[in-house]
Structure formats: C-alpha cells, structure tokens
Structure 1
C-alpha cells in the first residue's frame, strides 16, 4: 500500500523539536538509572559521567547514536517472499505477545497450552495481513525456562513468516537458516537480519540489567531491537500526555544510545507504547484514547530521527469479545496506520494485555483489512472514474449489468470474511451468530483447512534434539 497519505500529526514540527530539546536536557542533566556495572562501564568509556547507578549522557553520544541508527533494515523470513523491509514498506502487522490466558468466544478463560501455541502459529500463517510472528501466548504445560525453545520449534513447523530471535533461541535460529552465529553477525553488517527481539526500559528513566543484557545481545548479533518503553501517565510518568511523550522519548533515546555503543549501526525500532493510568485502580490502561496520541507523537519522533517505529493498538481494555473490544481495536488500528507506524502489534490481545483469543485474531485481521482499504489512495484518472461509461449511460441508467461492473467490483469493493451483511430474518434463521462466534468458526475452519509448510525432517529432528539436550541440563 502507498504510504504517502495524509498522516495524523499529534505535534507540530516545533513541538517535535522541543521534545528532542527537552530529552537532551533530561538525559544530560537528570540522567538515567543503569543497574548493571558493565553497562555503566560502557557508558563511562564513551565519555558519559557516572554517579553511583546514575548515568549522564552527553550531546555527542546522543547525536552520534541518532545519526547512525539505520533508517531501514530487512528481516528475513524462512520463505523469502515473506521477508520485510522496515522503514520503507507500509505498516506491517503482528499478533499479541505473551498472553497468560486464552479467552474463548464464550468468554471462558483458561491457561494456554502448546496446542494453543501451535494454533496461533498456524493462524499467523493463514492470515495474509500478518507479516511478523510473535508468541501470542506462553504455554503453561512446558518448563517455563524452555518455553521459547518450544515456541521456536512450533513457529518453524507451522509458519513461514518472520520469527522472534532471543538469546536462548539463537542456536535454533541458526539451525533453521543453516548459518553460524558468526555469519549472522556478518550478514547483519550488510543489512540482512534473521529475526527480532524486544528490550524493555523501565519507566521512569531506567535501564535494568535485563534491558541492557538484551540490548547487548541484540547489538552484538545485529538483531533488530524493538525498544518497548511503557511510561504510564500519572504512575511512572507525569499526569499529562505531553509529559508521558517526553519520558517515552527519553527512554527510547537512552536505549538507542546504549545500543550504538555496542554496535554503531545496530537496527532499532522506536517504541510508541506509552500509556496512561486508570487512577481509580492505579494500573495502566490498554486502550485509552490518550495512548493513540502518545503513539502518534512517538511515530513523529521516530520519523524525526529517521528510524522505524512500533505501536501496539490491538489490546482493548475489554475483557470480553463485545462491542467495547471491537470499538477499542478498530480505533487503535485505524489510528496506528493513520499515524504511519511501521510495525503494528497485538492482534488477538484482550483484557489489558492478559488474554489472547484466536477469534479476536481473526476479527482484528478483518478490522485491519478494512482500515487498509480506507487508507488506500485514490487514483483520479479517466479510466478509474469511468468517465466514458458515465457519459455513455447518462441519466436514469443502471450499472448493475454492465461488463465494467463485473470486471471491476471484486477488486474495488472490500468483501468481509467475518462481518455479516444480511437481513435480520436471515441472521435469525441462521442461528443469530454474533461476530465473536462467526470469528471462532472462521478460526476453526482455517485450522481445519491448514496445510503445513514443507520442512526438511532433518532440521526438525535437529531442533528437537537441541531442546532435548537443554531439558537434560
């Protein structure tokens, strides 16, 4: 899809420059908390002032990092046609990540299993609108210390799209692609990457040991880093949208700087997932309208720094698949696409990031397809306007039986796969199915019709052997 549409701009260019100016002020004068000794030493060796756990950046390291972060990079999929170039292509979509419960269409919740992991991986393969895979749920029926090994095996067996690449799955990804870790590093220097992973700054203004350890791994192996700061307005950020935007930017820039000190050209995504607090409960909201403003502002900052962005609109606060869930998801996906976010995640999420649903994944795919149709630019030409046909038929005519209609309607009019266009009487006769149940049926049909990709049995066996060796450690 052409991305040269009129984007939603939450800030003026003057506002964008102010956020950058204020960010430099905070990072150089207030500093960030860095938990790990070795990480602090890396900052210190590059001219940053250290006071206990506090690190004070300087303008030089900030400018150098932002000037050298890649504006685009390509992540390979095992099926080459599914590889994606982030920063150039239009919005690319991905499912939920790490839900701890499964929600069925009847709103019954349960613990996820490896069968659910397999099903989500298969649905990701089936839904064309999804370009990047994530572990939608964490299985409860395997050793939690080995869960990502099992998830990686499932992804390889069941889908051809971009995989997650974590420290513990590095060797498995190398087996899948037939490369060594050293070749992965070398290919990264030439803009070829074999997966992605996420790092999580802690709000406000902290890089934990877990965050810096992850960033070091990502930068060393050239793994694109989805930076995921999540300041919560009123809780871990000021109780203003503007203040939350500033904290979000500070944490992104701090992570980008640290990444650059390991590998100057390390690929990163700017994370636009700040939220605001539900002050009645003292917790984060997942679908507040303010999140979309924070996300849009983040996308603007990412464009200002000329790096790809990531947003996460697909998780409603709704705990059931009802009107609220659909409304929150639709508003979120439309806003993210309109804001020009490059990587848009969380399809199939529900319940404040806690639940995942196969039916919701199918419904979100339908919403996204509709959003992409809305955003498709018009082509005002004599051919597209059918000027000659209008002049030929004139007034009081019908286009229904024209060859032009038969030739063009399928490629010009979006046809929903789940949402119904029917009469009340027909809907009643067919069982009064609501959208959630229709989506559940669609998900089951996709799984029933699913055909596994061709896989080399020797690679599957090698991956299974690798996991078995880990189980014995």
Structure 2
C-alpha cells in the first residue's frame, strides 16, 4: 500500500471513529421538539374556510349521545340541548373554550429528561395504534399480541433516540379481563420506559384503579399530579358527530385525576367522515372543537391534545389505507388546523399497509412521517412499527423506524443559511491554493455531527465492502438489535419495594 493510500485509509478510519463516538444532545443534528411548519398543504384562505365549515357543523348539526354529566357540564357554559337530543355549539361558546384551552402542554416522562413541550411547530414522534397482532418476522405470519410483547416494545422504545413517547402500540390479548388488561397495560409500559406513556381505559371505573397504581409508581398522589407521566388516549366521539358515552365518562374521570387527555377523533374518509379530504378534516375539526368545549367545561385549561385523526379509505374495497398519500395529506392539513387555533395537536403518521418490513413499508412510513413533521405536527402518533393498517405491530420495524424517523427529523430541521454555512471562506481556502477538496478540513470535521444524520442500521457501504462483511441484511440487523436490547434488564423497572406494593395490590401478569 502506498503512503497516499495509507493516509487516505487512516483519514477514513478517523472519520468513522469520530462519527461513531457518542454525541452530546446539544451537538446532535436532530432532537425531540425541533421546529417544523415549513410546509403547508392548505392556504390561509382554505384554513379559514374549513374553520367556518366546522363552526357551522357545530351550530347546525351538533353532536348526539353525550352522557348526562357531559350534558350538564356543556349546557352550563352555553351549549344548547335540542329536542332531538343533540348538543349544538354556538360560535361564542367555541371561542370561549379556545380562549381557556391550554396553549402549551408538557407531557412528562418518568425521567424529566424525556419531558415533551407541546407548542407551536415543535415535532415529536412516537408509537400508538393498539394493534391486535404481532408480526412474526421469522415465520412471516401474525399472532395475537401479549402483555410481554407490549412491555418489550416499551423497553425497545426506551433505547431509541428518535422515538420520543410510547402510546400503547398493541393490545394485551392474553389478558381476557378488561380491567386487568388496562392496569397491566399501564404497568407494562411504565415499567419499560422512562418516556411519556399514553393509554386508554375500557370503562370509567377502571380509571380510579389506574390512578391508584400510578400514585404508587409516582410516590403519592401529590407527586403524580405534579408530574403526570401517563396520558389518556380518548376516543370521545363515534364519528360521525356523536359522543362515545362511556369514553366521555372515562375522560371526565381522567381530568379529575389530573391526567392529560388526547381528544381523539378517528373517522374514516368515505365511511364515517365525508370521502373528500377537506370534508374529513372539517368533521374531525368540528368533533375536536366539541371535545375542547367539553374538557374546558369540566376544568378550564386542563391539558388536552387536539387529536384530529382522520384515516384514509380505499373506496374500491373499503379497506383502511394508512400508508397512502391521502393519509399524509389528511395529517398535514390537520396540523395546520392545530396551528390556526394555537393548540397542541396530534395526528397519525408512519402507518403502513404493508404486512412486513419491506420496501412498501418504507415508502409508506416515510411519506407521512416526513409530511407530518414538515407541517409542524406536535405529536406524530403511530409513527413506528405499525403494519397492516394498524392490525399488526413489529418490534423489528420499531427499531428500523428509529433510522427512518431520524431522516424525517433531519428534513424537519431544514437548512440553516448563515455566513458560516454559506462557506465562502472555506471555498477561498480550498480553491485558492488549497487542496481542492473539503475532505478533512477543520470546518467539515467540526460540522459532521451537527449537520448530518447517520443511520444506525442502514447500510451505506460500497457493494465491494458489503460483500466483504457478509452481505448484511437490514431485517437481520434489526433482529440482532432487538435481541441485544431485550437481553438486558429494563432500565425503567421499578424499585423492588415499589414493585412489591404494586403486585400486592394488583394482579400483575408480567413476571417479577
């Protein structure tokens, strides 16, 4: 090998070593809560038109099936109960709720390092979806998901930099009793991650038991209320334009217990919302505005995420199309409506209709994750691991999605244009008597971590290098990474004394 080749090889090795070294948070090219909002699918005129249509829907159509307690709360602030049993919302009532509503929300983690500040265009990605099946990579089939699968998903999320929160991604189908399933879901997630957790409750009475569990984990009710690290994902409506009676009662109990709420309107375009993208956004906006009135009637200013969550539908078959371009447009438009109201909001991104982590899964997940992020969506739910239009969850895809979301976040960050980044001084040094290239310059080395995002598992070797290292397979890498993570005890596991108190009070299905 010549001296020049040795020098080049040594430089390449040094660059690789530098890139592989741990990077402090302030030097990372991406991080939670980066500002999006550079992209909009709607014009300002279109946003205002959708708003006016939503207000008209609330004033003239209204919502049915509110529980008696909800009717009492909402009519007290000016909502009108018609002879047909529907609640109609005057514009002034909606405006008052918008004034009272929380404009900034901090979703706490068990560890404050993972707190998420929701406001403006700050973007966060995480799981969700409540899939009923697990994707078995080895057998290429689907099986019922279990509480152990759920706990393992939380443990994996805890190690992934670009998964910022853990909303229940699957259902523990091995626990037939709904109360025990709800409580074990809380236990499985919170004992697996220090990040914020979102979950739902089947019946109103289960909330009280869950709060008892959370008080034990937090160290008392006062500590819980100071830093609630679990939020309630609440499908408070049954589209079109009806309240979900029991879910509303769950929501009231969560509000009274100090738990943040995700107001989730999950209609399907062409089935439970109008088939047009604009119509689906109008209905979701109207339903969530009604939810906002409800929440602020119960407790003004209570943290509530504006969860316009319409899904796409393949009108040829009636199948959900979470991985479609239409889904990406729906979520991006919803993000703009959140910004219009100045409210923290969430919608979907990253769902794939593909059954396995293949090329289809990649293009579908990246399309909506990038568009949601560029639109400044505060909470991008279902961003990782979701297959078969939310029917299946995959641990390996969750791990691969960490790379995918990393690239999406780099797009969200955008391009900085300053005197330093314009780099005219570098151009002069390199071109006028310099080496004629920028490799290895101080400026290049100084910015290689802060400007560039590098995949953890994605392969960038040459075909020759790839062959020399055994032609590594991406899914095989993800399997190995999963096994390595799960071979260690969960960092977020509870103190043994606390865990013993929990197990004495509740039937915990996970082994100690």
Please give the TM-score of this superposition, normalised by the length of structure 2: 0.84
How many Å apart are 1:310 and its aligned residue? 0.5
* Partner in structure 1 of residue 388 of structure 2: 351
* Partner in structure 2 of residue 459 of structure 1: 498
The match for 2:181 among 147, 160, 180 is 147
- Is contact 1:122-1:158 (8 Å) kept? yes
How many Å apart are 1:251 and its aligned residue? 0.8
* Partner in structure 2 of residue 393 of structure 1: 430
How many Å apart are 1:370 and its aligned residue? 0.8
Between 204-213 and 32-41, report the one with greater CA deviation.
Answer: 32-41
1:306-341, CA deviations, whole angstroms, 9 ceiling, x for partnerless residues? 111102112111112211111000001101101110
1:385-435, CA deviations, whole angstroms, 9 ceiling, x for partnerless residues? 444333222166233343444444244332211111123344345554443
1:415 pairs with 2:454:
yes
1:223 pairs with 2:256:
no
The match for 1:368 among 402, 405, 408 is 405
| C-alpha distance in structure 2 between counterparts of 1:31 and 1:410, whole Å | 52
| C-alpha distance in structure 2 between counterparts of 1:62 and 1:289, whole Å | 32
Q: 1:469 to 1:64 in 2, by over 3 A?
A: same
Alignment of 1:51-130 (within 5 A): 51-87=83-119, 90-106=122-138, 107-130=140-163
The match for 1:444 among 480, 483, 495 is 483
Q: 1:362 to 1:399 in 2, by over 3 A?
A: same
- Is contact 1:252-1:270 (8 Å) kept? yes
Q: 1:222 to 1:15 in 2, by over 3 A?
A: farther
The match for 1:8 among 39, 45, 54 is 39
Unpaired runs of 5+ in structure 1?
Answer: none
1:196-224, CA deviations, whole angstroms, 9 ceiling, x for partnerless residues? 11111111001011231122123323322
1:24 pairs with 2:55:
yes
How many Å apart are 1:113 and its aligned residue? 2.3
- Is contact 1:271-1:309 (8 Å) kept? yes
- Is contact 1:70-1:268 (8 Å) kept? yes
SS at match of 1:228: strand
| C-alpha distance in structure 1 between counterparts of 2:418 and 2:56, whole Å | 51
| C-alpha distance in structure 2 between counterparts of 1:348 and 1:74, whole Å | 25
1:338-386, CA deviations, whole angstroms, 9 ceiling, x for partnerless residues? 1110011211111110100011111111111111122324333444444
* Partner in structure 2 of residue 468 of structure 1: 507
SS at match of 1:295: helix
How many Å apart are 1:254 and its aligned residue? 1.1
| C-alpha distance in structure 2 between counterparts of 1:469 and 1:349, whole Å | 26
Between 287-296 and 249-258, report the one with greater CA deviation.
Answer: 287-296
- Is contact 2:281-2:330 (8 Å) kept? yes
The number of aligned residues is 465
* Partner in structure 2 of residue 300 of structure 1: 336
1:171 pairs with 2:216:
no
1:280 pairs with 2:320:
no
* Partner in structure 2 of residue 131 of structure 1: 164
SS at match of 1:315: coil
SS at match of 1:65: helix
How many Å apart are 1:36 and its aligned residue? 2.4
Between 334-343 and 413-422, report the one with greater CA deviation.
Answer: 413-422
1:4-28, CA deviations, whole angstroms, 9 ceiling, x for partnerless residues? 5552222222222222222221111
Over the aligned positions, Cα root-mean-square deviation in angstroms equals 2.5
| C-alpha distance in structure 2 between counterparts of 1:55 and 1:401, whole Å | 67
How many Å apart are 1:446 and its aligned residue? 2.7
SS at match of 1:222: coil
Q: 1:334 to 1:264 in 2, by over 3 A?
A: same
Q: 1:394 to 1:216 in 2, by over 3 A?
A: same
